[in-house]
A and B are shown apart, each in its own frame.
Chain A
Amino acid sequence: MAKPLKCDVCSQPATVHLTQIINNQIHKIDLCENCAEQKGITDPSGYSLADLLVKPESESAPEVAALSCPECGCTQREFKKTGRLGCAKCYEVFSSVVSPALLNMHRGDSHRGKVPQRALERRTFIDRLGTLESGLQDAISSERYEDAARMRDEIIELKKAMEAAAAEA
């Protein structure tokens, strides 16, 4: 290139070119290899805009910044620092920050792609089985024998269905 794009950070020739759309405004970022790496943009096809997109800490309420995930212990502060969440649950816990960010960085806020159908079915089976088994224990210990018999039958049916689904796959 006769006139190479310059890195926005250090003015070296840029090799990484990104665009982010924040509140419907297009922001362009050009980075050199070094600065891209420092910003955590190491995967050539993936990059993190989250740390650039999420507002600086001082602008959000302190109680929100102190929020932490009960599942993994990740804090909102940590998320803002790294642009990475700690676990799947973090998406719910930090939704007040993550959800608007998703709208800004993507083309919509709901998933329209592939669904892990088999895994979801399996999970539903397992959850249902757990509910029935603890219900059965309750029924037995409180001498509700009709309920217990019904639940035992349901468990047998459910296990049959699970085996059939597994065999099909």
Chain B
Amino acid sequence: MLIKSIFGGKSEMTEAGSKKCPVVLMTRIRLARNLADVPFPGWAKEARRKEVLETCLPSVASLGQMKRGISAEIESLSDLERQILVERHLISRELSTHAEAAGVVISKDQSISVMINEEDHLRIQVIKSGYRFKSVWNAADAIDTALEEQLDFAFSQKIGYLTACPTNVGTGMRASTMMHLPALVISSQMEKVVRAVNQLGIAVRGLFGEGSDASGSIFQISNQTTLGESEEEIVKRLSSVLRTIIDQEMNAREKILEKDPNKLYDKIGRAYGILQNSHLLTSSECMNLASLVRFGVDLEMFPEKTRNIVDRMFIECQPGHVQYHAGDEIDSSARDAFRAQYMRKQFENVDRPIFQLHETSTEDDTPKQEPEQEAE
């Protein structure tokens, strides 16, 4: 029931990839909020947690933004359903495992999800594809303001929104982007970038897979501090760091193409060959192949429409999704076989890569500033 509606509709995550931002896959903002006068979920007794769920679930579900969305108690979901929500970034792993008296409300387009009784009573999250802090913040802010009409939040004039963990206190905001940085990874510069960015109070996290090598070259980059700056200042500081990372990635791409194009063509050509012909594919291998093909799309080696296939692969090659498509809970070797078959099908009609450089191929179309912001 739940799964059908998740797969039935168009999803912000998998449908909207754009040439405009070759590097930034998606933008996310999360706000942590708690009800005044109720202990935080980790400390509250079961009965209080239930009260919070019973208060918040209908409040959130009644918002205009959540019209025709999904509203569910986590305990009522199967393991597979929970896993799929985690893989789509709609709930956290923590919520999926600490399911007692926990809930989630997801908007119809899956761009908004509100978790109830995670580490805080409410975790409001907005995700959109591309580099769009302005519209993501506006959406999160609107949800928060609408909820404020119905709920009293724990708030201190001195230190802002009060959260279970002091690392979130103040704005309660974690802003992040998911970035595809294949050239920095290939040219072994990622460690240097991570170190530099960390010094600026920005956290970097490999997003998929177990080792950094298995990440599909995708990294989540977010603010570490939430108190002492306004939401706007936090986003501004984060954006300037992101801008630098985008520039570094673009420079690295240019260098690779200048110095050793054959090495790159070989990688991308092989990725295409494997996706069309393999019969066993682990999720981490699949991520890395998808990453190379996406790089190829940026270089106009594949038609632009291939980008959507690849962006879907990042989500759909994960174990929960594979099992959903297989129609059964299957073990990991059966998943590898099914995943390979699924990818062969996806890549059946993708044209061979064109191995020649385009004049504009390494040009970065990502706006220097978000156009949405400039319009203000």
Our verdict on whether A and B bind, yes or no, reads: yes
Query: Inside 8 A of B161's CB, which chain A residues have their CB?
Result: 111, 116
Among B40, B119, B201, B213, the residue within 8 A (CB) of A43 is B119
What's the Cα separation between A111 and B170 when bound, in Å? Answer: 5
Interface of A is mostly: loop
| B220 lies within 8 A of chain A by Cβ | yes
| B66 lies within 8 A of chain A by Cβ | no
What's the Cα separation between A15 and B205 when bound, in Å? Answer: 6
Question: Which of the four size classes fits the interface of chain B?
Answer: 35 or more
Among B159, B166, B203, B209, the residue within 8 A (CB) of A111 is B159
What's the Cα separation between A72 and B36 when bound, in Å? Answer: 12
Among B93, B155, B201, B220, the residue within 8 A (CB) of A119 is B155
Query: Inside 8 A of B144's CB, which chain A residues have their CB?
Result: 114
Tell me which of B144, B190, B209, B211 has the highest count of chain A C-beta atoms within 10 A of its own C-beta: B211
What's the Cα separation between A49 and B141 when bound, in Å? Answer: 26
Among A50, A71, A113, A114, the residue within 8 A (CB) of B167 is A50
Q: Are B222 and A106 in contact (CB under 8 A)?
A: no
Nearest-neighbour CB distance to chain A for B149, whole angstroms, equals: 6
Q: Are B165 and A50 in contact (CB under 8 A)?
A: yes
| A5 lies within 8 A of chain B by Cβ | yes
Name the residue on B nearest A119 (C-beta).
Answer: B148
Q: Are B190 and A91 in contact (CB under 8 A)?
A: no
What's the Cα separation between A109 and B215 when bound, in Å? Answer: 36
Nearest-neighbour CB distance to chain A for B128, whole angstroms, equals: 15
Q: Are B190 and A1 in contact (CB under 8 A)?
A: yes
Nearest-neighbour CB distance to chain A for B295, whole angstroms, equals: 16
| B199 lies within 8 A of chain A by Cβ | yes
| A87 lies within 8 A of chain B by Cβ | yes
Q: Which A105-130 residues sit within 8 Å CB-CB of chain B? A: 105-116, 118-120, 122-123
Q: Are B158 and A111 in contact (CB under 8 A)?
A: yes
What's the Cα separation between A118 and B195 when bound, in Å? Answer: 42
- Ordered nearest first, which 6 A-B pairs have the shortest CB separation? A108-B228, A111-B160, A13-B211, A15-B206, A106-B227, A86-B43
26 contacts between A and B (CB under 8 A): A3-B188, A5-B194, A13-B210, A15-B205, A15-B211, A26-B198, A43-B94, A44-B92, A45-B203, A45-B220, A50-B165, A71-B39, A82-B42, A83-B166, A86-B39, A88-B156, A91-B156, A106-B228, A107-B225, A111-B170, A111-B227, A113-B160, A114-B141, A119-B152, A119-B155, A123-B36
A interface list, Cβ under 8 A from B: 1-5, 12-19, 21, 26, 28, 32-33, 37, 42-50, 71-72, 74, 78, 82-88, 91, 98, 101-102, 105-116, 118-120, 122-123, 169
